[in-house]
Amino acid sequence: MLLTDTCQAEEMSTDSPDLTPDPVEEELLAVGKAFAEAIVANDPDRIASFVTDDWVIVSDTGISPGTAFLALVASGDLTHSAMAEVGRPRIRILGPTALVTARITNTAHYQGRRLDADEWTTDVYVRRDGRWLCALTHYTAATPSS
């Protein structure tokens, strides 16, 4: 077992299941669901309504401006046909900032090539003008055993 596995197991064991839904968590779940629906709709303007102007995406290739993602969607070079959460996301609210981590499966098409992905994603949301907007998306491939 790796150190990260040990830390993950300890974190998971300290989370007590609260049967009362937190209204802010429920709001973030709804925002995340609508954000994913906008991505699957391949609508760059709708996607942009869920993110900050300086939204970035972090992946194994580094940091990319969200505007590059939006441009790929607008051009039709990048499309998504499916996106689903695997289990309930982990949500942490830190004042006007929230961290939402989830395992996501999705099907994308980049320049006509189908890409099926199983990823761990963390979205960093900030509260602005009464709305939660995504300022940063980080994703990494999930291993089959995770």
Please, which residues bridge with residue 108 across strands? 80, 115
pLDDT tens digits, one per residue of 59-101: 999 999 999 999 999 999 999 999 999 999 999 999 999 999 9
Answer whether residue 17 is part of any domain. no
Q: Is residue 88 included in any domain, yes or no?
A: yes
Give residue 20's pLDDT.
76
Domain containing 137 — which CATH number?
Answer: 3.10.450.50
Q: What number is the average pLDDT over the span 20-27?
A: 91
Which is nearest to 107 in space by CA: 86, 84, 128? 84
Q: Tell me if 39 is assigned to some domain.
A: yes
Report strand pairing: 62-65 vs 51-59.
Answer: antiparallel
Q: Please name the helix (run of DSSP H) or strand (run of DSSP E) that holds residue 104, with its range, or none.
A: strand 97-110
For residue 94, the model assigns a pLDDT of 97
Average pLDDT in the chain: 89
What share of the chain has pLDDT > 70, as a percent? 86
Which pLDDT belongs to residue 145?
Answer: 72
**Domain total in the chain:** 1
Residue span of the structural domain in which 104 resides: 24-141
Q: Is residue 100 part of a domain?
A: yes
